[in-house]
Chains A and B, each alone.
Chain A
């Protein structure tokens, strides 16, 4: 055991004193901060380029409204509130296409040419029967452009035209639009938690309103962080083993320690490095949420000590499972390229739970989520995610998953140690998975 700890201490010191580790620690918040800065910069760099567009108004009644609304918006709606001289949105300038002014060419073609020549952004065609009632899609009402990703203008046209058309339809049917709106108003459904009773005082504690941040975002962020910590450590561990084998350091080491001690020392060092990163990232996040105003109390409750303990436990299991696997693969190879090929199936196994993240969040208690979270290599990430989403998991699921995963972890470490023992001294051709299985089965 003391030799395992000696290797762990040395590997941990080597990893945490490296420039890559320090850069990695600083880079994550920098990237986070950088993205905030980028967002702030993009906010300040406003799009104020004027957009011209043409209206083909076959009703003969809508262009005027559009022109007036656009003029009103250009005068009042595109300036910064605090600083009326600062334009923050583009002007939209409509032009009317005179119907019948060019009989030789259909207006669509002529206007399309204008779009291609960048004279206008696009054109809207309003069919003559738009004021008629009917099914959706019965009437011609279309926006033509080369830049469909710019949606602000067509959305505004749609809203403005619909308002006029709706008013006209209500007036035609002799109905009071205000009354109809009031009668057909939707009632919003509040999502609340459960009502509880204080055990000491007997006081009824009213249900708290659900916080999307606490219910969805916190579990997803924690699960992603768990995944990220595993992905950051495990391939690095494989490279470390491979590098020591290639540089013949491994041969010196295993004259002093057993291959098992060497592998376990490295594995525990990887666990310690990941835990250090976890404490740093989670600690920073906790300090942040506790000191920023406006963070719902549900979020603070969602990142309680209980869930953090489970986070550490499942992170440990995931690192032992995948760390031992990747160490064994690293020991079996003699070149980095071969190792990358050999690690693909293990990498897929490690990433597979992430593909089901959406399904599990939608239905954390469903059969898919339950089944997948009971499969040992997926348990650390998926069971943890399910536990973090209210209301958590059933007791029997944990009672089944924990022994299964612990047993799988032990088997994984033992099997990997067997491959490691043979692989670390093997030279020459990189083994196939069939070879690895034969090593596993060997005496």
Chain B
């Protein structure tokens, strides 16, 4: 990991985590984690449930403190003042049901240091952008789920934060609302906002993130650009589509794993992919054959899936002994 220094009174990393550990009783939620998030980047946090993502995000927000290690956020260490520069969208939405949308946005804005006028003007702008003008004077409980999610997103970005942390921002959204929020995130990023979002949607992470960070059982297992991660896992993946029995693929001796992705199968091979193509072509019609890098989904499963369990057990046992 390259540590970027402070240059000319500015800082190049929005977040700089050094050797952070957090335990709850006997359970180690995050173990010796180091991570640097460049300013202006979109950083995807992935990992199975209970792996330490939320704990990491909460430590970044200074909601909880690490047992050991150091966290610097937007150039400040351990200072909650940085939180006024951060927008946070938690996984489970938290809105006052009985409050009117405009009042709610004004309150959340005020907590981030905005004046009532600023919050109102900015709020109206965002509501208009999401087509929610009519909802401004409605109570939150009267909104549809998609509308409420958009209001929660507006509350997060309203004060114009330097960094936004989004925990599962797309869960439960229909494609139209999803696209609206996705476009807004990309626009914020283009304007220099650092975006951190945790997701279980690997294709979304692939599409949006400049960097991917994966945490598993409290330890960092992936960190880098998608390209570098995929490179590290080699070109052992074949995407193919055949007519007839799918067992023809699974039964082939060099095939280690088959993932059915609907339109095609993603196959991990341990050998020469050419041999697989020749074998299949001789027995059925092959309409797609593409040698590719493994998808993030596949890499995720390799690390955290059931087949990785023995290796993971061994890894963590060694780490514990170490």
Which of A's residues lie within 8 Å of B, judged by CB? 3, 6-7, 10, 14, 18, 244, 247-258, 425
Contacts and interface: CB of A to CB of B under 8 A. Distances in A.
B90 A256 contact: no
A255 B95 contact: no
Given A3-B111, A425-B63, A425-B64, A255 B83 contact: yes
Contacts of A257: 111
For the residues of A in contact with B, the DSSP-based class is helix
Contacts of A255: 61, 63, 83, 86, 88, 90
Contacts of A18: 98
Contacts of A244: 94
B63 A256 contact: no
A256 B83 contact: yes
A10 B107 contact: yes
B90 A248 contact: yes
Contacts of A6: 107, 110-111
Given A249-B94, A256-B112, 13 more contacts: A6-B111, A10-B110, A14-B98, A248-B94, A251-B94, A252-B94, A252-B95, A252-B108, A255-B61, A255-B63, A256-B84, A258-B80, A425-B58
Contacts of B97: 247
Contact of B88 (A14, A250, A252, A425): A252
Nearest to B89: A252
29 contacts: A3-B111, A6-B107, A6-B110, A6-B111, A10-B110, A14-B99, A18-B98, A247-B95, A249-B95, A249-B96, A251-B63, A251-B94, A252-B88, A252-B95, A252-B152, A253-B94, A253-B111, A254-B63, A255-B61, A255-B83, A255-B88, A255-B90, A256-B84, A256-B108, A256-B111, A257-B111, A258-B80, A425-B58, A425-B63
B231 interface: no
Most chain A Cβ neighbours within 10 Å, of B63, B83, B97, B99 = B63
Nearest to A265: B111
Given A7-B111, A253-B111, A257-B111, A248 B93 contact: yes
B92 interface: yes
A253 B109 CA distance: 11
B155 interface: yes
A3 B80 CA distance: 12
Interface of B: 58, 61, 63-64, 80, 83-84, 86, 88, 90, 92-99, 107-108, 110-112, 152, 155
A251 B90 contact: yes
A160 to B, nearest CB: 66
Contacts, number: 54
B29 to A, nearest CB: 12
A247 B94 contact: yes
Contacts of A425: 58, 63-64
A48 B57 CA distance: 78
Contact of A248 (B63, B64, B84, B92): B92
Contacts of B64: 425
B120 to A, nearest CB: 15
B110 A252 contact: no
Nearest to B106: A10
Contacts of A14: 96, 98-99
Most chain B Cβ neighbours within 10 Å, of A3, A10, A247, A250 = A10
B155 A252 contact: yes
A10 B105 CA distance: 12
A14 B110 CA distance: 15
Contacts of B96: 14, 249
A379 B95 CA distance: 39
Contacts of B80: 258
A19 to B, nearest CB: 10
Nearest to B111: A256
Nearest to A258: B80
Contacts of B58: 425
A253 B152 CA distance: 12
Contacts of B86: 255
B4 to A, nearest CB: 26
A266 to B, nearest CB: 13
Nearest to A254: B63
B276 to A, nearest CB: 47
A41 B93 CA distance: 54
Nearest to B61: A255
Contacts of A247: 94-95, 97
A256 B155 CA distance: 12
A244 B110 CA distance: 18
Most chain A Cβ neighbours within 10 Å, of B58, B88, B111 = B111
A251 B92 CA distance: 9
Nearest to A3: B111
A250 B58 CA distance: 13
Most chain A Cβ neighbours within 10 Å, of B64, B86, B96 = B96
Contacts of B107: 6, 10
Contacts of A256: 83-84, 88, 108, 111-112
Contacts of B98: 14, 18
B170 to A, nearest CB: 17
A256 B111 CA distance: 6
A239 B83 CA distance: 27
Contacts of A7: 111
B117 to A, nearest CB: 15
A14 B83 CA distance: 25
A4 to B, nearest CB: 11
A14 B94 CA distance: 16
A426 to B, nearest CB: 10
A286 to B, nearest CB: 34
A193 B53 CA distance: 73
Contacts of B95: 247, 249, 252
